Amino acid sequence: MNTNKNEKFNAITETSDGVNTVYLSGELDLSVAPDFRLVMEPLVGESGQDLIINLKELKYIDSTGIGILLSILKARHGMESRFAVQEIPPQIQKLFDMTGIAKFFVPQENSQ
């Protein structure tokens, strides 16, 4: 398990049974984007592993965070590798709906 701690943002990575799950908490915005990219970079390229981002504890996401999620989606799609977002909080789902990206992040149930 990898942990990236910031005062207002945290990303915890767990790997099991061919799945990398990244649990985000706090606020994902421009100020922590480099930290998030650092966590995600090695995971995005692992084509043999499914990639799931769990947003249950995420309180806020800005356009930079959304852009990173879209770039991950694009990269994983190009590799024909599974990428899912799970447990999207209502306030973030509303933002996804308003920006028109909700169709790309169909919520996945937490299998754990």
Per-residue pLDDT tens over the stretch 19-54:
999 999 999 999 999 999 999 999 999 989 999 999
Q: Which residue, 86, 80, 4, is CA-closest to 39?
A: 4
Q: Are strands 9-16 and 83-86 parallel, antiparallel or unpaired?
A: unpaired
Give the tokens for residue 38: 């650092």
- What ranges in 1-112 are assigned the alpha helix state H? 33-44, 63-78, 90-99
Q: Which residue, 25, 90, 22, is CA-closest to 53?
A: 22
The total domain count for the chain is 1
Indicate whether this model's pTM tops 0.85.
yes
| Rounded CA separation 63/46 (Å) | 25
Task: Give the CATH number for residue 47.
Answer: 3.30.750.24
- What is the maximal distance between C-alpha atoms in the chain? 35
Question: Range of 77's domain?
Answer: 2-108
